[in-house]
């Protein structure tokens, strides 16, 4: 089953799979809510799941499908190579985290590996996870502050919106800079976006 809000990508996967003697496409969905309904109807052996979708995102859909069927085999297929998002997907129950830029052969290898009950992580994704695994993650409050920074808001405005002092905002920013190993607000936002710790609203 393929789950993606872009019909062209679903068509592309369908055309790859139709030439494989051991694979059949049994369902398609355009968002997480559709994915759950389609999963319950077709019970696919392997599900290819996008993360960024309307109505319900991929992470929530993965968790819900795994709640219905703990043995569900799910491959995340995304444009985001960030380690934070990869770890979240694996924790939610995904067996693989592939980039949409992956070669056709790698996609087929991942489907077969996951179907056989194995995990499949490309070396680049595994390396990103390993590099950052010992680092302390951003707290929910720090992510909220960083989201407001990304919206271009000054410290005083952030302090007012969150009902905290200016000094507290500065303390949060110092902590964010240290955790992301950056020196300023712009680089903090860029680093968090690249690693998948946050998305622009």
Q: Which domain holds residue 26?
A: 2-132
The answer as to whether 201 is a domain residue is no
23 with 74, same domain? yes
Inter-CA distances, 100 with 12, 48, 72, 106, 156, Å: 11, 11, 21, 10, 40
CATH of the domain at 69: 3.40.50.2300
Strand order across the 73-78 sheet:
28-29, 2-3, 46-49, 73-78, 96-99
185 pLDDT exceeds 70? yes
The domain boundary, picked from 101, 116, 132, lies at 132
Mean pLDDT (the chain, rounded): 89
| Domain tally, the chain | 2
The answer as to whether 40 is a domain residue is yes
Give the pLDDT of residue 151. 92
Query: pTM for the full model?
Result: 0.72
Give the pLDDT of residue 133. 63
125 with 145, same domain? no
**What token pair was written down for 181?**
């190993």
CATH of the domain at 156: 1.10.10.10
22 pLDDT exceeds 90? yes
pLDDT digits 0-9 by tens, 132-153: 665 677 888 998 999 999 999 9
57 with 31, same domain? yes
118 with 158, same domain? no
116 with 148, same domain? no
The answer as to whether 118 is a domain residue is yes
8 with 65, same domain? yes
Confidence of residue 193 (pLDDT cuts 50, 70, 90): confident
Residues whose CB is less than 8 angstroms from the CB of residue 139 and which lie 6 or more positions away in sequence, other chains included: none
């Amino acid at each position: 089953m393929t789950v993606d809000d872009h019909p062209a990508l679903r068509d592309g996967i369908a055309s790859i799979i139709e030439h494989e003697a051991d694979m059949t496409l049994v369902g398609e969905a355009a968002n997480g809510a559709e994915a759950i309904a389609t999963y319950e109807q077709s019970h696919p052996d392997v599900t290819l799941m996008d993360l960024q979708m309307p109505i319900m995102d991929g992470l929530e859909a993965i968790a819900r499908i795994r709640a219905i069927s703990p043995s569900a085999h799910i491959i995340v297929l995304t444009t985001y190579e960030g380690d934070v998002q990869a770890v979240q997907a694996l924790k939610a129950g995904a067996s693989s985290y592939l980039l949409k830029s992956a070669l056709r052969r790698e996609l087929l290898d991942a489907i077969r590996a996951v179907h056989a009950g194995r995990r499949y992580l490309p070396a680049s994704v595994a390396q990103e996870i390993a590099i950052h695994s010992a680092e302390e993650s951003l707290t929910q409050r720090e992510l909220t502050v960083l989201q407001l920074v990304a919206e271009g808001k000054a410290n005083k405005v952030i302090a007012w919106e969150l009902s905290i002092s200016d000094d507290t905002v500065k303390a949060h920013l110092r902590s964010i800079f240290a955790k992301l190993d950056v020196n300023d607000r712009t680089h903090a936002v860029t680093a968090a976006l690249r690693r998948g710790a946050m998305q622009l609203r």
